[in-house]
Amino acid sequence: MSERMDFARFEALVAAYGATPSRWPEEERAAAQAFARTDPRAEAVLKEADTIDDLLFAHRVAEPSRTLRAMVLESAPRRRRIVGRVRLWWSSIAFGIAAAGGVLAGSAAMAALEPVTANVQLYQHDDLTTFEDTSEENAQ
Amino acid sequence: MNSDDPDGDLVRRVGEGDPQAVEALVARKLPRMTALAQRLLGDRAEAEDVVQELFLRVWKSAAAWRPGAARFDTWMHRVAYNLCTDRLRKRREVALPETWDAPDPQPLVDSEISARQQSDAVGRALADLAPRQREAIVLTYYQELPNREAAALMGIGVDALESLLARGRRALKARLEECHE
């Protein structure tokens, strides 16, 4: 429930916030609007404020440039980089073993990389080393 | 999720590294924060520096952001405002070149003023205002912050804010009338 407003407060409110009711403080808006409707002195006050509002709103700021937008986006951390590092780590292991154990072991290792989170065990068998996917055995 | 904060869910997703949320937050906030910084500083290049720094802080804080009493937009305004006032403080400590943001003494004829020229004239008048008056006007008029939020950002009460607004508006009008005489 809003209280009645007097001229002094109406004048001060409009001098501060301008002539547009949506810009008046919420708790005083209804009282100020009622005052504006009923008091003949309100019109002159609002007219004066309106000219200043028009001046203020004439000021435009250019939209951010594409360069600025790109730089801001580029500065954001990316979740995918972490996944990329995990894949790179597995790739390094696989290629290292392929180099030590031959092409067959390397192919098996690469096949075992998809998906990245697959459970794998390393078996040492004579002169061959291989990855085996144990995800079915270890399924929870 | 804080239903009172329109940015809450977006910020949470940014904190989780969602690239679409990052793009959406930039689309939503970059124009608003660029306008704030440019109007406070009166210099586009400096404003862009501030905005870049602001978003670096957003990325650092997003993962830890917890909905609470303050809205995310309020937090961004606080950081941007502090970054701008730090720069303004440093300017006052350093001698400025004479041509810095100098007002154009060329009188303008109303009927011939283009929208661009009028915008430039108002921009110069804003830059000429006392800093606290300019801050009050930028935060309430252009950023449309509620008066309590704007006053809290500036570290003053609402009465003091209203006094700055009224004086700033009168000074702006007087300055522009001088240019037209």
A73 touches chain B (CB under 8 A): yes
A8 touches chain B (CB under 8 A): no
Considering only CB atoms, which chain B residues are within 8 Å of A23?
140-141, 144
Q: What is the residue type of B132? A: R
Q: What is the pLDDT of residues A62-100, one digit of tens each?
A: 999 999 999 999 999 876 555 555 555 555 565 666 556
Whole-number pLDDT of residue A87: 56
| CB atoms near residue B136 (< 10 Å) | 29
pLDDT tens-digit profile of B58-100? 999 998 888 776 899 999 999 999 999 999 988 876 654 444 4
Q: Identify the residue whose tokens are 């660029």.
A: B34
Q: Which CA distances in Å does A18 have to A22, B65, B78, B120, B180?
A: 10, 35, 24, 21, 22
Q: At what angle do helices B115-128 and A42-57 cross, to 10 degrees?
A: 100
Q: Would the pLDDT of B18 be above 60? A: yes
A6-62: pLDDT as tens digits: 999 999 999 999 999 999 999 999 999 999 999 999 999 999 999 999 999 999 999
CB of A79 within 8 Å of a chain B CB? The answer is yes
> What's the pTM value of the predicted model, to 2 decimals?
0.74
